């Protein structure tokens, strides 16, 4: 399973969807990058393969970043790469 996280202006947590196939995830990532580079404001609509009723729509000029990561059994409980996690000492 591959996760696509959108970092959106004024929203403190990423918006995420999951794709089953790597090719679908890479295509979505590339598509979002092209939309971000475009000067034309568009509505970006995303659907999730894992939760089929999950849908996200956001204006392209509000997207500040996009992250693609692979979710597997080894890192299933870990945080997505690129995000800071603080651990409290006991």
Give the pLDDT confidence of 20-31 residue by residue, as tens digits.
999 999 999 999
Band of the pLDDT at 74, cuts 50, 70, 90? low
Distance CA 2, CA 84 (A): 20
- Candidates 73, 77, 84, 64; CA nearest to 15 is 64
User: Would you call 21 helix, strand, or coil by DSSP?
Assistant: coil
Reported as a single tens digit per residue, the pLDDT across 40-70 is 999 999 999 999 999 999 999 999 999 999 9
Give this prediction's pTM: 0.74
Chain mean pLDDT for the chain: 84
Q: Is residue 81 very low, low, confident or very high in pLDDT (cuts 50, 70, 90)?
A: low
Residue 80 DSSP one-character state: P
Q: Which band of pLDDT confidence, cut at 50, 70 and 90, is reported for residue 77? A: low
């Amino acid at each position: 399973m591959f996760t696509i996280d959108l970092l959106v202006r004024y929203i403190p947590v990423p918006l995420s969807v999951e794709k089953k196939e790597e090719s679908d995830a890479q295509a979505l990532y590339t598509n979002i990058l092209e939309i971000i580079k475009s000067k034309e404001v568009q509505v970006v609509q995303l659907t999730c393969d894992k939760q089929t009723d999950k849908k996200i729509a956001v204006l392209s000029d509000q997207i500040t970043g996009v992250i693609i990561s692979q979710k597997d059994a080894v890192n299933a409980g870990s945080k997505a790469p690129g995000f800071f996690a603080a651990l409290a000492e006991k």
